[in-house]
């Protein structure tokens, strides 16, 4: 599985390499444009441009402020987002978790290909689906009235509370899982910059090397990043990465 990345951009590899070496990467484009407007009891936040690690703090501040002044929650218009990485996704997930604590919601109104792909690949799309309202059928409305007369409305609220708690647990689990993504993305960027690989090829190298060394993907990525930053590389990892690169290049040549 691969995430959206700057594979098609020459500046993306250089940016990743600069982060590893300690120099501050040069932003390939301007900061994202964030617009905020009220819409009834909700606040609409429209974002255009690129969302990455450099813009994560600004994005988080804007979204927290919008959530704070809203009554029902925040609607996101992300159709103009050209690039979105895991640091921006972490911000969105944190906003979703915060909205639950305040009894509000965060929903997507529009979404571009970059954001859609990242949400789909990480399985987090459902967290930002707009709440759906279903009009009850005459039979259902009659049963609801009967339930209210019998005091059954208290029982009807219980599943909602249970579902909300399950969703909160899922958000926490997703946030923990997403914490490992920046290291994996950085390792993939190192492979792309070092060997001239595409996004998919670099991901396949990581998977192959992980399988051949019987090492978890996150641990392998962490070792690669540490090696670039000056720590002595593990021989087995170095050999398997080189073998995986050769295999991926061979497959690409055959294709």
List the domains of the chain with CATH numbers. Answer: 31-131+166-178 (3.30.750.24), 181-254 (no CATH)
* Beta strands 33-39; 42-51: pairing state: antiparallel
Quote the distance between the C-alpha of residue 130 and its chain's center. Answer: 18
* 34 strand-pairing partners: 47
Does residue 155 register a pLDDT over 50?
no
pLDDT at site 141: 45
Q: What's the pLDDT at 42?
A: 92
Residue 237 has pLDDT above 50, yes or no: yes
Assess contact for 32 and 17: CB atoms under 8 A.
Answer: no
Mean pLDDT of 101-123: 88
Q: How many residues does the chain have?
A: 255
Question: Are the CB atoms for 207 and 254 separated by under 8 Å?
Answer: no
Predicted confidence at residue 239, as pLDDT, reads 84
Q: Is the dihedral of CA 3, 8, 12, 17 positive or negative?
A: positive
What are the helix (H) ranges across the chain?
A: 10-21, 56-69, 86-101, 113-122, 138-149, 153-178, 181-195, 199-213, 217-228, 235-254
Backbone angles phi, psi at 48, to 5 degrees: -135, 145
β-pairing, 33-39 vs 105-111, is unpaired
Q: Tell me the mean pLDDT in the region 72-79.
A: 93
The residue to which tokens 């600004």 are assigned:
58
Q: Report whether pLDDT(85) > 80.
A: yes
Alpha-carbon span 229 to 122, nearest angstrom? 28
Band (pLDDT 50/70/90 cuts) for residue 196 is: confident
User: Between 30 and 175, where is the model more confident?
Assistant: 30
């Amino acid at each position: 599985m691969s995430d959206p990345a700057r594979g098609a951009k020459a500046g993306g590899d250089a940016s990743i390499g600069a982060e590893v070496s300690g120099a501050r990467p040069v932003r390939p484009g301007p900061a994202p444009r964030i617009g905020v407007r009220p819409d009834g009891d909700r606040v609409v936040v429209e974002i255009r441009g690129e969302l990455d690690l450099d813009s994560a703090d600004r994005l988080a501040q804007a979204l927290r402020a919008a959530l704070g002044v809203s009554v029902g929650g925040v609607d996101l218009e992300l159709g103009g987002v050209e690039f979105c990485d895991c640091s921006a996704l972490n911000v969105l997930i944190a906003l979703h978790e915060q909205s639950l604590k305040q009894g509000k919601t965060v929903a997507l109104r529009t979404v571009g290909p970059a954001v859609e792909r990242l949400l789909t690949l990480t399985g987090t799309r459902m967290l930002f689906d707009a709440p759906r309202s279903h009009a009850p059928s005459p039979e259902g409305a009659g049963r609801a009235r009967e339930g209210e007369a019998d005091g059954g409305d208290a029982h009807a609220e219980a599943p909602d509370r249970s579902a909300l708690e399950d969703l909160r647990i899922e958000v926490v689990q997703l946030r923990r899982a997403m914490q490992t993504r920046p290291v994996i993305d950085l390792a993939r960027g190192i492979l792309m910059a070092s060997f001239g690989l595409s996004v998919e090829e670099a991901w396949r190298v990581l998977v192959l090397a992980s399988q051949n060394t019987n090492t978890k993907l996150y641990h392998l990525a962490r070792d690669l990043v540490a090696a670039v930053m000056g720590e002595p590389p593990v021989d087995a990892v170095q050999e398997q990465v080189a073998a995986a690169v050769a295999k991926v290049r061979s497959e690409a040549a055959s294709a």
